[in-house]
Structure 1
Amino acid sequence: DAARPLSLILQPEAKILRDVTVRGRAADADGREQVSLIQLDPRTAKVLPSPFGDFNAILKTLPGVVSNNELTSTYNVRGGNYEENLLYVNGFEVYRPFLVTQAQQEGLSFVNPDLVQRVDFSTGGWQPRYGDKLSSVLDIQYKEPAAFAASGTASLVGGAAHVEARSANSRVSYLAGVRYKNAKYVFNALNQNQGQYNPTFYDAQAYVNVGLGNKDDLQKTSLGILGVLAHNDYRFAPVSGQVTFSTSTNQFTRLNVYYDGRERMQYDTYQSGLSLKHNFHPGLQIELLGSALLTREFEFRDVEAAYTFAEINRDPTSPDYNQTVRQRDIGSSFSHARNDLTARVFTAELRGRWNPGGDPLGAHALRWGVKTGREIIHDQLDEYSFADSADYVPDARRTRLAADLSLESQRTQGYVQHTWQVDSLKTLTYGLRGHYWSVNQQFVLSPRIQFAARSRRHPERSWKLAAGLYAQPPFYRELRNMAGQLNPELRAQKSLHFVVGRQVELQLMNRPFRLNTEAYYKYLTDVIPYEVDNVRLRYSATNQATAYAAGLETRLSGEFVKGVESWLSLSLLTTQEKGDTTATYDATTGQRTGYETLGYIRRPQDQRLTASIFFQDHLPTNPSVRGYVNLVFGTGLPFSPPGLPQFRGGAGSTPTYQRVDIGFSKVVSLRTTTKPHLYSLESLWLGLEILNILGANNVAGYSYLQDVNGRTYGVPSYLSQRVVNARVIARF
């Protein structure tokens, strides 16, 4: 009977279903589709053991990133130098100082780790929306806080404080931070040069976001305001120094130096930025950005040095072990500088994103942008130095570098790129970027393409490919040669990138891990050769060389200890260039006869093998007690006396760089209320760090001194020794 009711009784039964993996992406966070891209947790930078708690220290643990000097925030990527790296904070490009010659003179790096929300770091093959450099992109997004929070940090090497909050109507959020760097404590561990260090480094940053939309959609239109002030003043009055180094097998020389004079390096930076963003609808966003930079730098130095060379007894069985056997030679040197540089940079940019169909997570995304900028630089140079080993002082005017240089220029840039989500497993991004500079009147095009695909059968595996022609139009530093002259005809350096990578997500010890492996090749043309002196780059200001860089990198990251991420990185690299020139001399008269073009030689950043480990651990019964290890190892870098690139690496390399920093911390929870405010102390983070625990004698570079016989010695400049640091972080 069709009208008769039918009653069914279902019995419950439990079944174990197969694992289901759900993957998603935000409209502006397409990290999976980008080759050579690493996304970092900014909180790690606060616990990583390092001399100054610098944010960039975390980058030095990544594959392809090299820095053989813990005192500097600079880093080199895949055979390039630090001036080939791009840095963006909230879409604004950040510039580094011009006149810094030593790592000790550097102040605080731009990025304040207390303010960071997101970190994207690319070591090659990046998208067209990023600018025109050859080595890397660091893209930082500062926080837009949803509630009140604050912190204060104090340590033996400095301090910091920050505050963040949102207004009661949620329309305005603000973020502010101040930092102070007490470098004197670490500098006193530089046994090679003793004296009176008196550095003053501090900065202040603030970011405000104002929602201008209606109550239902405050961020439909928004205004972002970024302000930065940095003051860096390095003062040093050297007194004495001593260094023992090897001149041949089983022969050691000790250099004793006595100084008179002082040096000062000061640079003040002021940067501001405005960002006006409007969402016309979910698929169309337009943003207008404007920024201004003012930096004033000056270098003052008058330092006289008297030095002696002595032979050392290195027989450990002798009662005079490590004592002077014979005083051999004496000499003196003098260094003078009065350098003053002022730079102003103004930019305006219009950028947009359009998703056809109005869905920001749709299959297609089109990005474009146009940027114009004006640069005004005034540089006054007055410096000279000489070494005297025969009681003779040359005419200073013959060695003086004196110039009064000015440069005004206009840059225009633009890009367009299309990202196509072919399906749930494959993504293609391609586009074009253009750059015109008024000084050399050169227009360069930069086509770039990326492709990423996951295996349908094994979705935990993916392949990434990228290729592109990248260009770096010169900035002021590349234009100025070693004689203090500008070359306005200098062309953009170009680099053809090929990158292939494989990513595997795997389970080890029942915990998630990720293994990334990449191989790359870069062919460079119109290369501008340069020499490295500590952290100072001295360019030839001519496009006279070609070069290549090739390498293989791998990184394993995951929960080696449950609940905390650690990683290990390994990199292989070779990079060489040809086209450098060197002077030739008559063997009989010693007179210079001309110049010779060299074949392939090692580039200054040709570090063949680097390895790094960042490891975190905690007590199983008390996760608030943790330990940290930061290990960095790198083979030696090639070096040569100034003006003699043919000897770069021929007579050997610098010693291997090896450094281990360890740290321990304890978190003490103190919160007594659920509503945070300035007087509500949430927790205390108590930390103890032992930096360079192995006491390794790492070398930053070499200075060259002559004895009375005309023999030149490459005297190593050693870095910091073992230092203990204590830190306290109070969070509100």
Structure 2
Amino acid sequence: INHFGTQGATGGPLSFINLDFVIDVTFATGGFGARYGDKLSSVMNIKLKQGRRDHLGGKATISATQFGLDTQGPLGEKGSFLVGARRSYLDLIFKAAGFGFVPEYWDFIAKADYRLDQSNELSFLTIGVLDNVRFFNDTEEQRFSNSRILGNSQNQYFSNITWKRVMKNGFMSMSLGRTFVDYSFLQSDSLLQPVFVSDSREGETSLRTDGVFLFDNDLELAFGASGKLARINGEFDWTPTEDSFLESPAGGALSNSWDTTAVKAGAYVQLAKNVLPRLRMSVGGRLDYFNLIDNPVVISPRASMQYAFTDLTSVSLSGGVYHQAPSYIWLLSNAANTRLNHVRVNQAILGVEHLLRADLRVRVEGYVKDYQDYPASSERPWLVLANTGAGFGGAEDGFSSFGFDNLFSDGTGFTRGVELLVQKRLSDIPFYGIMSLSYNFTDYKGLDGIERPGLYDQRIIFNLSAGWKLSERWEFSAKFRYGTGTPYTPFSPGTGGLLAQNFAADYNGGRLPDFHSLDVRVDRRWSFDAWNLIAYIDIQNIYNRKNVQAYRYDPRNNAVEEAGGTIGILPTIGVSAEF
């Protein structure tokens, strides 16, 4: 769900889901039910609102970083629609900050809902995304700087049509979907000669059905099945050049191409019952199939329980086995990697939740997750592919997220932690906010058998987002983020006194400085007869924290430099018109 995602890994700097269309988000850090397959550690459910049914309306927004336009309204007497589009324009900001590149994106959304009768409803959703990275190579410094960046341009879309039927004691739904991503990666040297070129296309057509039925008011049966037919084709070429500061593949040039189809399928069943007046238990499992690997079938049993001490306080325990198929790119860029298994994690989650008042919720959760069968590199025995997809990527980490190495399902990992969540909803008290504090450890072990911190092992993470709605006209909000430093591999003197990273001995042996930043925002609203005008001032990183994203080696002067993860103080003024 992010712009500029990393192929073969998760993440991305910016969501392409317009928050104006979101009415609810639920996030499970683990222990989720059997309905969710091909997921390891967490599941996010984003519920989008339906378009308004009274009359045609919309919103136009323009700011220093993007503009957007959306409209919504009735679809006959029984339905509604909404459509929207956004476009970034970060050129001035990135140039002023001294960057030699600028990311550009468009995203589009269209949604329609139509009630056929009292029991049947159709819904349609499509999302389109256009991402492009544009480089400025006017100066020698820009060309050198850009030679260390993996250009990431991609186009993608998601479409889905769902039929839902509500019955006396439950419901059934059926969805037909299509997902397509066109990845294009390019990294050139300081003379603008291509070093790495990768183009690939992944398209999936899916069919899914789900059902939930309630018996005797306390026994719930949930079941479902899904199938995906994928077409994947692409090619890559990694060629060292004479004027390259970049790492070269072992043995010279490396290239490959592929064109194949893949089949994924899954089915699940889950039973939930109130075994006591305050105790609810569920048990279930799922079966998943993936035809591109040698061991295509996995079974994942899961169970949970929840006990309500009072109407305000409850405790929950959940856990089970979770599997995720290896990424397409890992399997197809190196044909030998079809020996990989599904990645597996055994996890247990214990949580306590208390409702302090109707608008104030507190939850404490502890978890342990034991990862098995994670792909690990034989050429780089310290590398587990869970530790990829961060930082600048590309040649600086040997394009590790693409899975070009000979991979074996012998990597392991272990995560344990505790998280505190406090949520205050807007009510008669005009304050709202959400605070989370987590303390965790993550370690992975590659083929060399040495346990090391994971690349995303941020021991302490604190987030606070809060707002004060002073009146119908004024609203103040702020967001503060803090995290301890993530691991990195330090540099040390090597052959001839040149600095280098000794991955075998020092992989993830250092820690970046702590990260923290504060954003503030003020909104002012004016209401007129048929429309509203909203103006806002948003200041990101208001105290100008110089956070360090990475340490990078500059071969021109044999020195290590800091790479900033923030632009600095970034003020933004925006205006929105609602009609």
Q: TM-score, normalised by structure 2?
A: 0.85
Q: Shift in Å at residue 431 of structure 1?
A: 0.9
Q: 1:601 and 1:438 mapped to 2: Cα distance?
A: 33
Find the partner of 2:464 among 613, 618, 631: 613
Query: What SS does structure 1 have at the residue aligned with 2:488?
Result: coil
Find the partner of 1:669 among 522, 527, 530: 527
Q: Shift in Å at residue 538 of structure 1?
A: 4.7
Alignment CA distance shift 1:450-1:190 (3 Å): farther
Deviations 1:554-606 (A, max 9, x none): 0222269922311222110111122x24xxxxxxxxxxxxxxx2321111111
Deviations 1:119-149 (A, max 9, x none): 2211111111112211211112222234334
* Aligned 8 A contact 1:550 1:575 in 2: yes
Q: 2:235 and 2:146 mapped to 1: Cα distance?
A: 27
Is 1:150 equivalent to 2:150 in the alignment? no
Q: Which residue of 1 aligns with 2:381?
A: none
Q: 1:726 and 1:271 mapped to 2: Cα distance?
A: 32
Q: Shift in Å at residue 707 of structure 1?
A: 5.9
Q: Shift in Å at residue 409 of structure 1?
A: 1.2
Find the partner of 2:221 among 355, 362, 366: 366
Q: Which residue of 1 aligns with 2:110?
A: 206
Find the partner of 2:273 among 420, 439, 442: 420
* Aligned 8 A contact 1:237 1:263 in 2: no
Alignment CA distance shift 1:605-1:259 (3 Å): closer
Q: Shift in Å at residue 655 of structure 1?
A: 1.6
Find the partner of 1:562 among 429, 432, 438: 429
Query: What SS does structure 2 have at the residue aligned with 1:304?
Result: coil
Alignment CA distance shift 1:367-1:100 (3 Å): closer
Query: What SS does structure 1 have at the residue aligned with 2:200?
Result: strand
Find the partner of 1:633 among 482, 500, 508: 482
Q: Shift in Å at residue 115 of structure 1?
A: 2.0
Q: Shift in Å at residue 623 of structure 1?
A: 5.2
Q: 2:8 and 2:224 mapped to 1: Cα distance?
A: 32
Q: Which residue of 2 aligns with 1:443?
A: 297
Query: What SS does structure 2 have at the residue aligned with 1:543?
Result: strand
Alignment-mate amino acid for residue 204 of structure 1: F
Q: Which residue of 1 aligns with 2:27?
A: 121
Find the partner of 2:511 among 635, 653, 656: 653
Q: 1:559 and 1:164 mapped to 2: Cα distance?
A: 26
Q: Which residue of 1 aligns with 2:133?
A: 234
Query: What SS does structure 1 have at the residue aligned with 2:512?
Result: coil
Alignment-mate amino acid for residue 126 of structure 2: G
* Aligned 8 A contact 1:240 1:259 in 2: no
Deviations 1:366-418 (A, max 9, x none): 111111111111121023456869xx999999543321123421111011112
Q: 2:34 and 2:89 mapped to 1: Cα distance?
A: 40
Q: Shift in Å at residue 264 of structure 1?
A: 5.6
Q: 1:643 and 1:430 mapped to 2: Cα distance?
A: 47
Query: What SS does structure 2 have at the residue aligned with 1:417?
Result: strand
Q: 2:139 and 2:315 mapped to 1: Cα distance?
A: 56
With 142-151 and 338-347 compared, the bigger mean Cα shift is at 142-151
* Aligned 8 A contact 2:8 2:328 in 1: no
Q: Shift in Å at residue 232 of structure 1?
A: 1.7
Is 1:534 equivalent to 2:391 in the alignment? yes
Q: Which residue of 1 aligns with 2:85?
A: 178
Q: Which residue of 2 aligns with 1:491?
A: 341
Deviations 1:331-373 (A, max 9, x none): xx9762332111111111122111225xxxx322211111111
Q: Which residue of 2 aligns with 1:520?
A: 367
Q: 1:229 and 1:433 mapped to 2: Cα distance?
A: 31
Is 1:98 equivalent to 2:38 in the alignment? no
Query: What SS does structure 2 have at the residue aligned with 1:355?
Result: strand
Question: For structure 2, which runs of at least 5 residues remain unmatched after alignment?
Answer: 376-383, 394-400, 491-500
Query: What SS does structure 2 have at the residue aligned with 1:346?
Result: strand
* Aligned 8 A contact 2:149 2:392 in 1: no
Q: Shift in Å at residue 206 of structure 1?
A: 0.9
Q: Which residue of 1 aligns with 2:259?
A: 406
Find the partner of 1:553 among 415, 419, 441: 419
Q: 1:259 and 1:461 mapped to 2: Cα distance?
A: 54
Alignment CA distance shift 1:486-1:175 (3 Å): farther
Q: Which residue of 2 aligns with 1:722?
A: 569
* Aligned 8 A contact 1:387 1:705 in 2: no
* Aligned 8 A contact 1:366 1:416 in 2: yes
* Aligned 8 A contact 2:258 2:332 in 1: no
1:211-610 to structure 2, matched below 5 A, reads 211-213=115-117, 217=118, 220-239=119-138, 265-279=152-166, 281-304=167-190, 336-357=195-216, 362-385=217-240, 399-422=252-275, 425-440=278-293, 441-456=295-310, 459-479=311-331, 487-506=337-356, 512-528=359-375, 529-530=384-385, 531-532=387-388, 533-534=390-391, 536=393, 537-539=401-403, 541-558=407-424, 562-578=429-445, 580-581=446-447, 597-610=448-461
Query: What SS does structure 1 have at the residue aligned with 2:190?
Result: strand
* Aligned 8 A contact 1:206 1:228 in 2: yes
TM-align CA RMSD = 3.3
Q: Which residue of 2 aligns with 1:696?
A: 545
Q: Shift in Å at residue 521 of structure 1?
A: 0.6
Alignment-mate amino acid for residue 152 of structure 1: A
Alignment CA distance shift 1:304-1:241 (3 Å): closer
Deviations 1:27-81 (A, max 9, x none): xxxxxxxxxxxxxxxxxxxxxxxxxxxxx8xxxxxxxxxxxxxxx769xxxxxxx
Alignment CA distance shift 1:485-1:367 (3 Å): same
Q: 2:317 and 2:330 mapped to 1: Cα distance?
A: 31
Q: 2:424 and 2:173 mapped to 1: Cα distance?
A: 37
* Aligned 8 A contact 1:235 1:262 in 2: no
Alignment CA distance shift 1:550-1:300 (3 Å): closer
* Aligned 8 A contact 1:115 1:177 in 2: no
Which has the higher relative contact order, 1 or 2, with Cα contacts under 8 A spaced 6 or more apart?
Answer: 1
Q: 1:552 and 1:101 mapped to 2: Cα distance?
A: 23
* Aligned 8 A contact 2:473 2:525 in 1: yes
Alignment-mate amino acid for residue 113 of structure 2: N
Is 1:112 equivalent to 2:22 in the alignment? no
Q: 1:465 and 1:126 mapped to 2: Cα distance?
A: 11
Alignment CA distance shift 1:134-1:101 (3 Å): closer
* Aligned 8 A contact 2:458 2:483 in 1: yes
* Aligned 8 A contact 2:534 2:575 in 1: yes
Query: What SS does structure 2 have at the residue aligned with 1:491?
Result: coil
* Aligned 8 A contact 2:189 2:243 in 1: no
Alignment CA distance shift 1:376-1:609 (3 Å): same
Q: Shift in Å at residue 714 of structure 1?
A: 6.4
Q: Shift in Å at residue 259 of structure 1?
A: 6.8
1:43-82 to structure 2, matched below 5 A, reads none
Alignment-mate amino acid for residue 67 of structure 2: G
Query: What SS does structure 1 have at the residue aligned with 2:20?
Result: helix
Q: Shift in Å at residue 663 of structure 1?
A: 0.8
Find the partner of 1:139 among 41, 45, 54: 45
Query: What SS does structure 2 have at the residue aligned with 1:488?
Result: helix
Q: Shift in Å at residue 657 of structure 1?
A: 1.2
Q: Which residue of 1 aligns with 2:398?
A: none
Kindly name which structure, 1 or 2, has the bigger radius of gyration based on alpha carbons. 1
Alignment-mate amino acid for residue 163 of structure 1: T
Identical-residue share of aligned pairs (%): 21
